Structures are given as C-alpha cells and as structure tokens.
Chain A
C-alpha cells in the first residue's frame, strides 16, 4: 500500500545510540546493525562486518515516524508540493512513511488517478508514501466512489478531507460499503452550517478582532454524529485533526463503549491557541482553527492517555503569494513535516508535559496501527525504519531551509531542539 523509488538497501551500524522503542520496551544504549536494510543485530557491541559505522553517541535511535495526514498537492498544484519534494521534506522530518490526502485537482476518486500517483511515487518518492482516495466522487458529497476498485488499486483508506460528508445518509452508506474493502474511513468532522465563513475559533479573541468564527461545537456535533453512525454500523472510523475538547470527550466515550474509533491531533493544535491569531499572521490560519487553552489541554491529555493515538501534521503547503495577504484572504493550512518532532520535543517533552516515549509512540506505532501499516520497530528481522535524533541539537526554522516547496510554517524564526540527524526508511538512508 506504500510506494517509493528503488533505494539500495544499506549495510549500516549505528554505534552506541540510546535505542528507544516504546512498543518493544527498549530504552538502552546499544549498537544496531543493519544488513541489506534489515535489522540484523541489537546488542551492547555488534560486529561491524565492514558496514558503514554511524556514531550514535549521545543520540536517540527510535522507530522512524509515520504521518497519516499530508497534502502533497499533486496532481494540480505541483508549484506548492510534489511527491518528490513532499517525501524529501518527510525524510528530513524523520518520517519513514506518509499518507497523502486525496483533495487534489483532480480529486483522487478514480483508480486511474490513483494509479498515476502510484507510478509517480515509484519514480520519485524519497520515502514510502501511501494514498487515500475520496469517499465521494469529486468530494461532492453526493455519490460514493468505487471503493472496491480504489482499494484494489492501493488506496490505504478513504477520506473527503478538506470537506465533511454532510449527508448523514451518505455517511452511513460509506461506512457500510467501505467494510468490503477493509480500509478505514478517515473523517474531517465539520458541520458547515456552523462553521461557514469562519476564519478562526469562536471565542474572546475572535470577538475582539471581529473575525468571523467557527465554534468548537461545529466540529463536535459532527464527531458525535459520525461516531453514532459508526457504532450503529459497527464499522471503524478515524477522526482527523481533532481540535475541540468536546470532540475528545465524545471520542473517549465512544472508545469506552467499545467502538473501533481512533483520533489524530496536529502539532499546532497541541502547542498553539487562538491567542496566536492576534498576530493576524496567515501562517496561524488553518482548518480546524486553533482553539482555546482548555481545548489544547484536553488534546494533550487525550494524547497522553491514548484516546488520541496519532500525531498528524496535516502538512498543507501553500504558495507564498497566496499566504502573503491579509488574514481573511489567506487559505487555510500550514506546513509541518520538517518541524513536527522538533516543535513537540521543544514545547512538550522538554518542559515535562509529555514523555519522550509517548511522543515517539504517537508519531510512529500509533498511526501505523490505525491504518494497518507496517509498524516501524527496532527488532531483529524488522525492516530498518529508524530515526536518529539529536535531542540537544538546535535548528532555526527559516524560509529557505525547507525541502518542501512551500514555507508556510508557523515556526519561522523559531529555534527548536530535537534535530533529526538521520532517517532510514525501508532500509535505506534517506536523510542525514
């Protein structure tokens, strides 16, 4: 279900790194030897077998990251991102796998469009990339896509990301039909009659600024509806980019009731609140919007306790001229692939708000589990999907420092800890 260009499988030894794999229960200073792209030995000291040796002293070696929510803008807006640039950005961010959303131009709603993306990924994907296909034709919310054929062509999951499936009846049919594919539905929960025209979260900041606002309840009523439908149909659902405390509470209730429901959260929703919008910086404009402190705290709690299993960047590149306008005229979305680990490490792990192990799990095993992908793990016999992290290392986020074709990052000018020193994806060194 994931595709990448041919890489030469590596023979590498990572020497004396602190090896951390929360799922495998490892946290110790060890050597790791990779033979032909497969982890062959993990021990206090391993024979180098004349492999290339990378000194990991003082660094953390962890399972590489999986991003379940990326916009690669291809086809249609290759000026903003391509499969080559987006996967290169992901490699630089420590990812070994990413999933691309289908809201491109044209929409990925037919097997032929999907197959052309797969072919491109085989030619230029720096790391393995998978594709979601639309739930409805043209994401128009009226007719289901041919999910059977799309799944056969390699669709990892189905999503109308960017817009909600407004009709409850159609959502029910989607849940019923998707069951034949065994692929989950990834849902963008937004009630348009409550969110329409909103540029930011409805709260004190929006009231003061006079910006049209999108209240939390505009997300949570749709979360509640979709969870109710999924429970009724006994089908799995994945809730994308959750932003509101009420949504988190609904997800937790559904999980407690036995529903097969999962959720993801973005770095920006974990770090920022609507207060950031006072800057009127177009790079803090995204959908769903940054919400209140209580929402941020609820998201962080849910990430800690596992209600939210995955961190997703919702990497959404935009052309410079489209963001270089007044706030209201700017499109929604910010980039995130190259800064996700560093900002979460700096803002959450360093101050003691989140354990490093939890962050690593939610950026790797969590999303892989939700989408049925190979779990990156540090175990003999496993394909090498590894990231080497220099926790003390700093990076300053600058406009010309990105591999992504776009620079609409909310972190421009920030200096972050937690540098990605090396990424190994599918057995090949893809970034160092």
Chain B
C-alpha cells in the first residue's frame, strides 16, 4: 500500500477511538476529518465494533447494568435524555432492533421518530443523501440507521450532523447486537474472558457474526465458526464444517439461514433440508448445560430445533431483554460523552 489518498493507510482508530475519549480524539470511523465541513465538530458514533476498545465495551456493559436496575422500579422512565431527538431510520424490516431502540429512547425520555423506507419518500426513489439531509434539518441528536447497504451509517454520519448508531448495515456490522450478546453472556454465565462460543450457520451473510467475532476477540472469548464451506468466510478465527466441533463450546450461537440473502441458484447448500440434517441444532447435538443463543428471527425447524429454542438452556429471551438496556446504554453513551459511572447516572435520575 503506497497510497495515502483514499484513507486506506489511515490508522484504524482503536485505542481511545470509537466511543472513548470524546474530547481528545476524533471518533468518526473511516470518515476522514478533511472531508468534514471545517465548522462541524467530531461526533461520537457507534458504527462498528472495530472502533471500540475493551474499556469501551466494559463501560457500556456497566452502564447497561445500571439501567437494568432502573427498569425494576414502578416508574421505568428516566429523565436522562429529555429534550433530545432520536430518529430511527429503518431501510430494512426489523422487529426487535427497531422496537428496542424506540423503547430505549423513550425510557430515557428522548423524543423519537421512526422512519421506515416503505411508505416514505424512499419509495419514491429519494437518495439516502437527501433523506439524511431532510432528517438532518430537524436537528436530531441521534440517527439510528439500519440499511441493506454496507457503509450507509458512515455515509449518513458524513452527510448529517448527528450522532449515528449503526443498527445493521448489509452484511457488515450490527454492533449493538454484539454488545447485547456480550451483556447476556456476562449476566448468564458470569464471565466473558475464557468462554468458548461456537457460531453455527450462515456466517457469510451475517453482520451479527462479523460484529461478534470482533467483540469476542476484544473480551477474550474463544470463537469457532461452524457451517457449510461456502458460508464460512475467513475472519481470522477457527473455522470448521464439522458440527461435532460445537461439543467443546460453552455456548452455541445459532445464526439464521438468511434465505432472503441467498440468490436463487447460488447453491451455497444443496437444500435447507440437507442443511438441517447436517448443521441443525438439535437436543441430540448439545451437551448437557450448553447454552444456546440466536439473534432472531428464528427459522424453527431449519437451523434450530424447536425443542432447543424452547428449552431452559436457550438464552434467546434474555438476549431480547438485554437489547433494551444495552441500547439505552449506547444512546446514553454517544450523547453524553465520557465515561459514565453509577454516580453520574444517579444524579441524572434526580434531576
């Protein structure tokens, strides 16, 4: 690499980047400072797990834990983000991500607005740039975006003057899912460091898996990718097509077979039937005490046997609950800046 011109040799912002140290360093992932209008300050975004440090992750999980405590009260609403506007911009269908972001913002007293591509000007062919500029005119504090195209969150961060949270961009990243999975693991298994998680299924088309692989590396979780050969990209971790490899894992993380991302005739697997027979997670394939996770939505009877999905070892509901508090923590963190201790939060509550 000899070119400096396209940002490729720009050092990846890791230590102190991402959500950390807002005041000291620019936090915009991959958006070159020289491309930004000079009068606009750097914003804190959550675009990719690759932008985070272990400290960032621990701080976010800690904040989420504090919020979890607040949700056990009678009055679940905190005034923390009162007067802030959070816009959810969803270009792809979603149940849990969009609802949990909306509820997270509401629980923190932010104003929320949800824009879905269907029924909006996007249907009329409006470009992402124009939609972002339009929303930007309302002066939102946070734009939460889900988009089928990789890099859409970076693009919005460049166009609109708001904190951007990536709620899933194509097959690239789904950072809040990875964070909520870490939170779930920590709550349910009591630790992160030293755990072994087997991710099973369609890794190739999975933004969840890409974020998880990076997140696991950050916190010291060993990760094995298991699935059909054509669906296992080289992500720098162990990969195998032998389903027997899940035996040693503390947790089996089952990915959805993304039928909508599989072009007809692509032949990644001969049939879903064959997939289920070889890689489907059944009670017989699990060891006693092995936990099972799934980012949803599940294809019961395809990648996961319904008996597994409904078993006591399934952490799927815990994942959904974690989604709310982790997204509260993310909104809080991008908006309020620096490290947040329990005391700060308590003060905010009183205010």
Q: Which residues of A contact B (CB under 8 A)?
A: 196-197, 204, 206-212, 271-273, 275-281, 283-284, 293, 321, 324-329, 347, 351, 397, 410-414
Contact = CB atoms under 8 A, between A and B. Distances in A.
Contact of A414 (B4, B10, B205, B234): B4
Contacts of B263: 196-197
B233 interface: yes
How large, as a class, is the contact surface on chain B? 35 or more
A313 to B, nearest CB: 16
Contacts of B8: 272-273, 275-279, 284
Interface string B151-167: 11011000000000000
Contacts of A321: 127, 129
7 contacts: A211-B172, A276-B3, A324-B129, A325-B129, A347-B2, A410-B3, A411-B3
B71 to A, nearest CB: 33
Contacts of A212: 171
Given A207-B233, A207-B235, A210-B150, A325 B6 contact: no
B150 A328 contact: yes
Contact of B7 (A281, A324, A327): A281
Interface in B1-50: 1-10, 30, 32, 34
Given A210-B150, A326-B150, A412 B5 contact: yes
B121 to A, nearest CB: 16
Contacts of A272: 1, 3, 6, 8
A279 B150 contact: no
Most buried by B among A209, A210, A278, A324: A210
A410 B170 contact: no
Listed from nearest, the 6 A-B pairs whose CB atoms lie closest are A210-B171, A279-B7, A207-B233, A280-B151, A276-B8, A414-B5
Nearest to A280: B151
Contacts of B152: 326
B3 A326 contact: no
Contacts of A211: 150, 170-172
Contact of A325 (B4, B155, B206): B155
Nearest to A272: B3
Contacts, number: 105
B101 to A, nearest CB: 20
Interface of B: 1-10, 30, 32, 34, 127-129, 147, 149-152, 154-155, 169-173, 205-207, 210, 233-236, 263
Contacts of B206: 210
A328 to B, nearest CB: 4
Nearest to B7: A279
A328 B149 contact: yes
A411 B3 CA distance: 9
A26 B173 CA distance: 56
Contacts of A351: 2
A275 B30 CA distance: 13
A278 B150 CA distance: 11
A326 B1 contact: no
Contacts of A197: 263
B128 A325 contact: yes
Nearest to B236: A204
A413 B234 contact: no
Nearest to B10: A279
Most buried by A among B8, B10, B155: B8
A284 B8 CA distance: 10
B268 to A, nearest CB: 12
Given A276-B8, A279-B7, A280-B151, 17 more contacts: A207-B235, A208-B235, A210-B150, A210-B207, A211-B150, A211-B172, A277-B8, A279-B8, A280-B154, A283-B6, A284-B8, A325-B155, A326-B152, A327-B151, A411-B3, A412-B5, A413-B34
Nearest to B155: A326
A329 B5 contact: no
Contacts of A414: 3-5
Nearest to B205: A210
Nearest to A293: B1
A39 B342 CA distance: 82
A212 B171 CA distance: 9
A411 B173 CA distance: 28
Contacts of B9: 275
B1 A276 contact: yes
Nearest to A213: B233
A184 to B, nearest CB: 32
Given A210-B172, A210-B207, A328-B170, A413 B127 contact: no
A146 to B, nearest CB: 35
B1 A413 contact: no
A209 B7 contact: no
Most buried by B among A275, A329, A347: A329
A326 B5 contact: no
A38 B249 CA distance: 79
Nearest to B5: A414
A273 B149 contact: no
B1 to A, nearest CB: 5
Contacts of B34: 413
B265 to A, nearest CB: 9
Contacts of B3: 271-272, 276, 347, 410-411, 414
A173 B8 CA distance: 44
A250 B4 CA distance: 31
A278 B50 CA distance: 12
B282 to A, nearest CB: 28
B127 A326 contact: no
Contacts of A208: 210, 235
A325 B8 CA distance: 19
Contacts of B233: 206-207
A353 to B, nearest CB: 9
Nearest to A324: B129
A317 to B, nearest CB: 18
A293 B205 CA distance: 26
Contacts of A275: 1, 8-9
A279 B30 CA distance: 6
A209 B1 contact: no
